[in-house]
C-alpha cells in the first residue's frame, strides 16, 4: 500500500510538471526518446538505444544498497527503483530450465502484418522448440502468435493456445490468468518464454497472487536472428505494433505498463527478489 501511494504521488507529480529529478528533466525526456545524454556531446553525438535505462542508474544507484536502513517510505522508493531498473527475471540456460520445470508458458511480443506471428514471435517459437526438444514431457501453453509460429515452422501443437475474446485486447496479465487455469492441473515451476524486455513483467504477473505460478526464464542463446528478421535485442523492426519495433520506443511503454500493473495490484516490486540481480 505504501508503494502504491508513493507511485501515485510520483505519477501525479510528473503530470503536474514536477520531475522527481528536476535538474535533469530535459535529459529525461530526451532519453526516453533515445536521445544521447549531455555527456555524449562533444565526442560526437549519437543515439543510444540504452539511454532510457540510464535514468535510474544516474540518480538511484546507491538506493538499493541502503534499503534495509531506510524508513518505510524510502523502502517504497526502493521498490520504485526496482520497477525502473530491473530487467531480468530469474534465469537459467535451456537445459537447466527444461529439466527443472513442468511446462512452457509463452507470452507474445508484437505481431506481424495481417495477423501473422511476426519475427519476434517466430523467434520465441524457436525458443519453445529448443525447450521441448530438451524435455519432451513439457506441457506447452502459449499465446496464440507463438502457438501459430510453432505449428507453422516446427509442426508442434500447443497444449493450450491462448487467444483474445472477440473484439478485445489480451493483456499480459490476461495471458497469465488463462495459463494459470490450465496449469492448476499441472502444478510446478514453469519455463517462461518471453522477449527479454517483457520477461520480468510476465514473470511477476505469473507469481503474483492469486495466480501464484513460479517461473524461470531460459536465456535466448544461439538464435539465428537473421533468419527471423530481428535485431540483436530480438526486436522486429517491421512489427505491426509500433511500440515493439525497437528498444528506445518499447522501454518507456514497458515502464508505463509496470506502473499501471502495480496500481492495479497485478504485479509487485516490493520484494528484493522481484528481479535477478546476477
> What are the sequence ranges of the domains in the chain?
94-277
Please give the distance of CA 55 from its chain centroid, rounded to a whole number. 18
- Give mean pLDDT, residues 145-153: 98
The mean pLDDT value of the chain amounts to: 80
| SS3 at position 168 | coil
Report d(CA 261, CA 254) in Å as an integer: 10
Supply the pLDDT for residue 45.
42
Which of 9-13, 89-93, 232-236 is the least confident region?
A: 9-13
Higher-confidence position of 67 and 116 = 116
Q: What's the CA gap between 97 and 192, in Å, rounded?
A: 9
Nearest to 220 by CA among 111, 140, 116, 109: 109
Helices and strands (DSSP H and E) totals, the chain: 11, 6
pLDDT of residue 75: 56
Q: What is the mean pLDDT of residues 246-269?
A: 92
Query: 36: Cβ–Cβ under 8 A, 6 or more apart, which residues?
Result: 30, 45, 46, 47, 48, 51
What is the distance between the alpha carbons of residues 130 and 98, in angstroms, rounded to a whole number?
9
Helix (H, G, I), strand (E, B) or coil at 215: strand
Cβ-based neighbour number of residue 202 at 10 Å: 27
pLDDT for residue 76 = 67
Residue 50 has pLDDT above 60, yes or no: no
What does the block give as the cell for 30? 530526451
Q: Are 234 and 120 in contact (CB under 8 A)?
A: yes
H helices of the chain, where?
2-15, 25-32, 54-60, 72-85, 94-100, 119-134, 144-154, 172-183, 199-207, 225-228, 247-263
Flag whether pLDDT at 272 surpasses 90.
no
Beta bridge partners of residue 161, listed in sequence order: 142
89 pLDDT more than 80: yes
What pLDDT is attached to residue 57?
54
Q: What is the DSSP letter of 129?
A: H
Name the helix (H) or strand (E) containing 103.
strand 103-106
Q: Which residues contact 161 (CB under 8 A, 6 or more apart)?
A: 142, 144, 147, 148
pTM: 0.74
Q: What's the confidence (pLDDT) of residue 70?
A: 47
Amino acid at each position: 500500500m505504501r508503494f502504491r501511494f508513493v507511485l501515485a504521488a510520483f505519477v501525479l507529480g510528473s503530470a503536474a510538471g514536477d520531475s522527481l529529478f528536476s535538474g535533469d528533466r530535459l535529459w529525461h525526456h530526451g532519453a526516453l526518446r533515445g536521445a544521447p545524454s549531455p555527456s555524449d556531446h562533444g565526442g560526437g553525438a549519437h543515439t543510444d538505444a540504452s539511454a532510457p535505462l540510464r535514468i535510474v542508474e544516474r540518480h538511484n544507484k546507491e538506493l538499493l544498497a541502503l534499503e534495509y536502513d531506510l524508513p518505510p517510505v524510502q523502502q517504497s522508493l526502493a521498490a520504485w527503483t526496482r520497477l525502473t531498473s530491473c530487467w531480468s527475471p530469474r534465469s537459467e540456460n535451456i537445459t537447466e530450465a527444461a529439466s527443472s520445470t513442468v511446462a512452457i508458458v509463452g507470452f507474445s511480443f508484437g505481431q506481424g502484418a495481417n495477423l501473422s506471428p511476426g519475427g519476434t514471435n517466430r523467434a520465441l517459437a524457436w525458443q519453445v522448440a529448443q525447450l521441448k526438444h530438451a524435455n519432451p514431457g513439457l506441457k506447452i501453453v502459449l499465446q496464440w502468435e507463438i502457438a501459430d509460429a510453432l505449428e507453422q515452422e516446427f509442426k508442434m501443437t500447443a497444449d493450450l493456445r491462448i487467444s483474445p475474446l472477440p473484439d478485445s485486447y489480451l493483456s499480459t496479465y490476461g495471458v497469465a490468468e488463462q495459463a494459470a487455469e490450465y496449469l492448476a492441473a499441472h502444478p510446478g515451476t514453469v519455463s517462461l518464454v518471453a522477449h527479454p524486455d517483457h520477461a520480468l513483467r510476465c514473470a511477476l504477473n505469473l507469481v503474483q497472487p492469486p495466480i501464484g505460478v513460479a517461473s524461470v526464464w531460459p536465456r535466448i542463446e544461439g538464435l539465428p536472428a537473421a533468419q527471423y528478421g530481428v535485431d540483436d535485442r530480438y526486436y522486429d523492426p517491421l512489427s505491426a505494433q509500433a511500440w515493439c519495433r525497437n528498444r528506445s520506443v518499447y522501454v518507456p511503454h514497458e515502464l508505463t505498463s509496470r506502473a499501471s500493473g502495480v496500481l492495479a495490484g497485478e504485479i509487485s516490486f516490493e520484494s528484493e527478489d522481484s528481479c535477478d540481480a546476477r
